Amino acid sequence: MKRPTAAEIATRKGAAFPVITAYDAPFSRCAEEAGIDVILVGDSLGMVVLGFDSTVHVELGDMIRHGAAVARGTQRAHIMVDLPFGTYEASDELAIASSSELVKRGAATSVKLEGGASAAARICAIAGAGIPVCAHIGVLPQTASLGSGFRLKRERDRLLADADAVAAAGAFAVVLEMVEDSIAAEITARIPIPTIGIGSGPGCDGQVLVLHDVLGLYPDAPPFAKRYAELGAATTNALRAYAGDVRARAFPAERAKATREGNGYRS
């Protein structure tokens, strides 16, 4: 089975489809096995994996490295990769060069960038170069701490104008982050491309969450995220048990030695 194309995802308008972030081979493989065929390699990478306090420290090389790992871990998923802060805003040329690099290095089947009407020219340029683009409006994490803010977005006219602009510019889908529920539903009914909501209520087409929030691996998850597992606690417990076994000389055991000598190592 092939990876779904952006054009195929665009036909999911009206369908409720799941999107999840992932940043490496093992977790993206889990996502694919769970039947999720759109994976976002988000620049949330900066916080949930790399330990930064915001996304602005993420570089294009980080996204190439992690997008390519997701590509190696999957066979049937569309891989949407965030263009990080500073890699697309300055010019159409820069936006095309950054997007092409992600595609050439096998890291992305589409790119995502932040911004509404102000990003329309970049969306048009990247899409014009043949690279599918997903837009992202509402809360814009890359500039939120610089002034655009993390609060729920309720400026209806501005949000509708942003949604219209990114759809007209050629985006194949748009993420709505922290957009007031009724406005998100209005946008979803209004524009021809799928909306993918995060903290924007049930009226969007798709929904996206950050993997580490879903799995209980990130302590500062936003209130709208739902935890489906407690892998942080499970990991700590497993490592505590391992450390205890080593200290008690309960691991490795004689049986493990025999197995190693008989079977070799990982092949």
* Residues tagged active-site: 177
**Per rule CB under 6 A, is residue 205 in the interface with ligand KIV?**
no
Token digits of residue 173? 């889908």
Touching ligand KIV, residues 38-77 (CB under 6 A):
40, 42-44
Q: Tell me the closest approach of the beta carbon of residue 40 to ligand KIV, in angstroms.
A: 6
- Of 44 and 74, nearer to ligand KIV (C-beta) is 44
**Per rule CB under 6 A, is residue 110 in the interface with ligand KIV?**
no
- Of 60 and 261, nearer to ligand KIV (C-beta) is 60
Q: Tell me the closest approach of the beta carbon of residue 210 to ligand KIV, in angstroms.
A: 5
Contact of 171 with 134, CB cutoff 8 Å? yes
Work out which of 21, 74, 188, 207 binds ligand KIV, going by CB under 6 A: 21
- Of 175 and 263, nearer to ligand KIV (C-beta) is 175
**Per rule CB under 6 A, is residue 210 in the interface with ligand KIV?**
yes
| Long-range CB pairs of 115-121, under 8 A, 24+ apart, other chains included | 115/89, 115/140, 116/158, 116/159, 116/161, 116/162, 116/163, 116/165, 116/166, 117/161, 117/162, 117/165, 117/166, 119/166, 119/169, 120/165, 120/166, 120/168, 120/169, 121/92, 121/169
Work out which of 166, 174, 198, 215 binds ligand KIV, going by CB under 6 A: 198
CA separation, residue 25 to residues 11, 15, 75, 186 (Å): 27, 27, 11, 37
Applying CB under 6 A, the span of 26-34, 35-43, 124-132, 243-251 interacting with ligand KIV comes to 35-43
Q: Tell me the closest approach of the beta carbon of residue 186 to ligand KIV, in angstroms.
A: 20
**Per rule CB under 6 A, is residue 135 in the interface with ligand KIV?**
no
Q: Tell me the closest approach of the beta carbon of residue 9 to ligand KIV, in angstroms.
A: 15
Determine the Cα–Cα distance for residues 50 and 59; give it in Å rounded to an integer: 11
Determine the Cα–Cα distance for residues 253 and 266; give it in Å rounded to an integer: 19
- Of 48 and 120, nearer to ligand KIV (C-beta) is 48
**Residue whose C-alpha is closest to residue 172's, from 153, 189, 195:** 195
**Residue whose C-alpha is closest to residue 21's, from 52, 61, 63, 75:** 63
- Of 32 and 43, nearer to ligand KIV (C-beta) is 43
**Per rule CB under 6 A, is residue 81 in the interface with ligand KIV?**
no
Helix (H), strand (E) at residue 121: helix 120-128
**133: β partners:** 111
Q: Which residues bind ligand KIV (CB under 6 A)?
A: 21, 40, 42-44, 82, 175, 177, 198, 208, 210
